[in-house]
Structure formats: structure tokens, C-alpha cells
Amino acid sequence: MMTRPDRSPRLRVVAIADADSFVKWSAALVDSIPDASRHLLLVRTPLLVSADQEHAALAGTGFTEGSVTRLEYDGLAAWLARDRPDVVVISGRGPFVRVVQRQIDRVHPRPVVVTGLPGMSIPAQRGALLYRRHSDLMVVHSRREMRAFDELGRRLGAPVNLALATLPYARRKDAGSSGTDLVFAAQAIVPRAAEDRRAIADLLRRAALADPDRRVVVKLRSRPERGETEAHQELSRYPELLHDRPANLVFSYEPMAEALTRAEGLVTISSTAAIEAMARGIPVIALDMFGVKKAHLNTVFAGSGVFGGAEDVIARRFRHPHPLWMRDNYFHDPAESTCWGQVHDLVARRRYGQLPARPIPQPRGGPLHLAWQRKSVLGADDHTLAGAVAVAVAAPVVRAILTLRRFRGRNGAMTWSDDTTDFTVSPARHQDPIVRRRQTALVAVD
């Protein structure tokens, strides 16, 4: 049911999201705004969080049941027109950001539009920037990310208004390592190859057998058997790879913050959970068993001192990051985080009619392309005839484009094969289907 929440006259902020990692990030980010009235809109897409995922994502924030609304995409503009927020934070994959901003373009007066990414964003990616370039402000979370996205915007001829904010999970808690669990933060697409995921499963099994008195906890984000999804499609799932496992190797779907309360250390390839652990003083191993590459999203840890291999995991030789690396990567002085000051300035300009609109331009291809963009995000939740026609007509073209991309723009300077830069001007390496529970040609590109 669409309701207008009881909101105070303070800065009125609405976060809009769908998938679990984006719900977690936007809720934590908005929760950090001082003296603000907050609400969260969950838009129905094939990636929408389940009730359990929502509970895990909102754990530790001030969001309650009354401050969260689930609604259909077509009801979004009307809801915002009634609520009249000052600021909207759009949190989702690039195509989601684009179609949501099209709805916001229909709202008068138009709120300040803020976008961002839900964790570590090195390398800065082409799609991440281009899909968000029409927002008033794009949030990044480290000085290194500021440099990378600024340079990427110049290279692409698409400068963006960047703002530095402390990553919500990087707020220091200084709890230290007091538990005994080895927590592995699983990722849906890192590593992607089935043989690499089998190698990790085997490593976790060996780590558990090496010390039967201590647990190895595989922290997962979704249960497909319950209809749950994630922002990216996982092709080889650890519960399937570890169906035959020691008793002390267990799976967990609890919030990461809870898993870390019992952690001796955290292991991952490139999950933002590493930053969450570091903030608590919990040591980390960033696995380099497949190399340090942009493709594994782990070049961000270069110079951190936390890289380790299989034997380090088995022996539980966790590491703490170097202080100089921390200052440039997610643990800068909080005084450098000017995001909310910039937001207040934008709101003031808006109130005086001095904030120019930044509408999403109409795509080449006209109404059919618009229908495709909508259908590619909403999937089965789009019931329009235009969407059905767009799938029939555009799907073969999109497949051809994606096939071509696999062979172009992957090599050379500043691409995915160039591990010396913190950004990539080439398209995303992988495209996930949005409708995942049946065969479909729908694809979103980020």
C-alpha cells in the first residue's frame, strides 16, 4: 500500500533501491545524515530484496517498518510528488538508476538527485559513471576513488559532480578481533570461473579440516530456493560446491556486522566486507591466489599489506592494513567528507530556483528504446505492450552488441587488461540477465 509517512520539516531525504547490497548501502548512508527525516522506497524489480534480506540490510540503522515502503515503478513519481522530498538518493545498478531518474524528471519541484555505489569502486568503471552522470551529485568513498572517477570523467568527456563521504561500513568501531571464526565473504561474480570457485571451496574445506575446533563461516547474501536474488547472478554457488563439508564449515545469512562479532579474521577476494572488518580492527586476508587484477576487483588492495594465499588462509595468518593505505582508501579523516555539506548547498540552490534540471536525455531509437530500457530493469514487473514488443525486436540486437563487446575494448591502456590504472574506459566485462528464473534475453549493462 502506498502511504505518505509522517515527516518532520527537517531535511527530507528518500532513498530508492531494489537489490540487497544497494538497500544496505543507501540505508546506511542516509542514516548518517545529521538532522534529517528519512524514508526508504523499495521498487519492485526482479532483484527486489526479500523480507529477510531487507531485515539484514537495515540492521544497525534507524530505519523501522514504518519508514520503508514497497511500491511499483509506475507509482514512484506520484509518491514523490505527494511526499515532496528535498533529496532523493538513487541506489541500484546503472540501468535502474536511469529508469528511476526518468520518473524523478516528472516530479515538480524536482528533488536534488544523489547517486553512488555500494562499496569499494576501484577500478572506477565506465558504466558506473555514465549511468549516473545526470545526477546532481555522485558519492564516492575514498580519496583514491575521487581521483579515479574524476580522471575517468575527463577521459570520457562526461565530468560528474563528485562528493566524498565516509563509507558507512568504514566508521571505526575499534572492537578488535575477539572471536574464533574464519569468516569468508562470498561474492557472486568474483571469481567468476567455475574452476576458480571450486578451488575456493576446496580451500575453505581444507581450512576447516586444519582446525576442527574453530569454525569456517561462509557468509552468503541470498537463498535462491526462497526466491532471493542479488545484484549480480551467481553461477556456481558455494552451498552446491560444499554439499560435502566438515561439521565446522557452516553457512551464514545473518548481517555481516553480526558475523564479524564472532570473527577472528575475514577472508575475501574483493568484498567491501574487508573494509567493514578493518573498521572493527579485525584482520583480513585478501586472497591473491588468482592474481591481482582489475578483473578480480582486487587492485584496490595494492599496497595494503593484506594480500595472502591459500596457505595463509589455512594457517589463519590474517593481516592488518598499512596506515598510509588506509588514509587513501576509505579511512580518510572524517573532516574530509564534505558530501552532506554539498547536499545542503544543492538544496539551498533548489529552494531559490537556482539549481538547473539535469534530465535524462531521450535515447536514440525513440519509444522502442525507452521501452527496452524499462523492460530490461523491470522484467516481469513490466506489463506494457511496448515492453513485450521491445523484447521481441531488440533482444537479438542486444545479444549481438554484447557478443561484439566481448571481443572489443578489452585490451590496451586504461582497459580491463591494464592493471596499472584505477579506472577503465572499456565496457563492463560481464552482463547479467535481469529476469533469472526463466530463459530470457533481457540484459542490463552496468
Pair type for strands 443-444 and 432-433: antiparallel
With a CB cutoff of 8 Å and minimum separation 6, the contacts of 301 are 270, 274, 286, 292, 307
Q: Give the pLDDT score at 434.
A: 46
Q: Give the pLDDT score at 246.
A: 97
DSSP 123: S
Q: How far apart are CA 26 and CA 160, in angstroms?
A: 20
- The full set of domain ranges for the chain reads 11-170+334-351, 181-328, 367-444
Residue 439 zone, left/alpha/beta (φ > 0; ψ -120 to 50; rest): beta
Q: Give the pLDDT score at 408.
A: 62
Q: Give the pLDDT score at 441.
A: 42
CATH 3.40.50.2000 corresponds to the domain 11-170+334-351: yes
- Give me the torsion for CA of 375, 381, 383, 386, rounded to 10°: -10
CATH topology identical between 11-170+334-351 and 181-328: yes
**Per-residue pLDDT tens over the stretch 81-97:** 999 999 999 999 999 99
The architecture that CATH gives domain 181-328 is 3-Layer(aba) Sandwich (3.40)
Q: Give the pLDDT score at 405.
A: 63
Grid coordinates of 84: 515532496
Q: How far apart are CA 352 and CA 442, in angstroms?
A: 42
Q: What is the pTM (predicted TM-score) of this model?
A: 0.91
pLDDT along the chain (446 residues), means of 10: 52 96 96 91 96 93 94 97 97 96 95 96 96 97 98 96 93 75 95 95 98 97 76 81 96 94 97 96 97 96 98 98 97 95 96 92 87 91 89 74 64 90 87 46 44
Residue 117 zone, left/alpha/beta (φ > 0; ψ -120 to 50; rest): beta
